């Protein structure tokens, strides 16, 4: 019943009856994936649709100079796999950003489900369209923005896409712990470049960190103001 309740909250499957969700329950096995696990890559066969039950996943590509460039960050209820992001023509990798639980559905089974439920196909198209727009936005910032602007855009994306259950006035905690090296990888940069920019953002009152192994806190209004002004 827990899995059925979860599936009913996934945007794609909202509106299905309990019996229909029970059928999906039998074809969506769960697998725990530790932080840092590569779930999919251009070198792996993609025969499944992945649904994130808990945790978060980063989609990225490798640039010509061998750096990682983040294209999207997904959380609970989001979909990815052969029939979503990995059909965009861009060779993508998917890696867990924290300990995560992932549902897997064979692509043939998924196609059968949406063939039987045309309304799911329409929802699926909406989801993929929105995903492509987000990817284009991320690519634009990552390709043409300064490292500072890339970091600001990434922080804004995280606090927008993953609403925090708690806050401290206008300060919002990021949902995921990230090191300077991870932030550098996610923005196609290097640690030596990212660290002084993070210190500068802290001096400007845009972000703060309350100790090792603690997430960053973001001052949302200052972040958005800096993002609009940053070159």
Q: Where are the domains of the chain?
A: 2-142, 145-229
Cα separation of 227 and 156, whole Å?
Answer: 8
pLDDT at residue 51, rounded to an integer = 84
Cα separation of 109 and 149, whole Å?
Answer: 41
Tally of residues, the chain: 231
CATH code for residues 145-229: 1.10.10.10
Cα separation of 104 and 83, whole Å?
Answer: 12
pLDDT at residue 86, rounded to an integer = 47
Phi, psi of 74 (to 5 degrees): -120, 150
Is the Cβ–Cβ distance between 197 and 110 less than 8 Å?
Answer: no
pTM score of the predicted model: 0.72
Spell out the long-range contacts of 199-202 with Cβ–Cβ below 8 A and sequence spacing 24 or more.
200/148, 201/148, 201/151, 201/152, 201/226
Cα separation of 151 and 111, whole Å?
Answer: 38
- CATH classification number, 2-142, choose in 3.40.50.970, 2.60.120.10, 3.30.2140.20, 2.10.10.90: 2.60.120.10
Q: Where are the alpha helices (DSSP H) in the chain?
A: 2-9, 18-25, 107-116, 118-144, 147-161, 180-186, 191-203, 220-229
CATH topology agreement for domains 2-142 and 145-229: no
Q: Which residues of the chain have pLDDT under 70?
A: 1-6, 8-9, 11, 14-15, 23, 25-28, 46-47, 82-90, 138, 141-144, 164-167, 212-213, 230-231
Sheet holding 207-209, edge to edge: 171-173, 216-219, 207-209
- Count of H-run helices and E-run strands, the chain: 8, 11
């Amino acid at each position: 019943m827990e899995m059925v309740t979860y599936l009913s909250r996934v945007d794609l499957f909202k509106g299905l009856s309990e019996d229909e969700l029970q059928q999906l329950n039998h074809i969506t096995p769960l697998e725990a994936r530790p932080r840092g696990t590569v779930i999919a890559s251009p070198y792996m066969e993609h025969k499944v649709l992945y649904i994130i039950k808990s945790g978060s996943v980063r989609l990225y590509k490798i640039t010509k100079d061998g750096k990682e460039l983040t294209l999207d960050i997904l959380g609970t209820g989001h979909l990815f796999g052969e029939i979503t992001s990995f059909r965009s023509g861009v060779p993508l990798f998917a890696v867990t950003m924290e300990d995560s639980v992932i549902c897997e559905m064979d692509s043939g089974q998924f196609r059968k489900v949406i063939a039987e439920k045309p309304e799911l196909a329409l929802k699926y198209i909406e989801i993929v369209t929105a995903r492509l727009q987000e990817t284009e936005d991320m690519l634009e910032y990552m390709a043409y923005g300064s490292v500072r602007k890339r970091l600001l855009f990434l922080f804004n994306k995280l606090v927008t896409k993953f609403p925090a259950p708690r806050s401290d006035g206008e300060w919002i905690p990021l949902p995921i712990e990230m090191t300077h090296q991870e932030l550098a990888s996610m923005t196609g940069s290097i640690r030596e470049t990212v660290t002084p920019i993070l210190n500068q953002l802290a001096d400007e009152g845009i972000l703060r960190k309350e100790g090792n192994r603690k997430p960053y806190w973001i001052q949302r209004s200052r972040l958005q103001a800096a993002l609009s002004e940053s070159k």
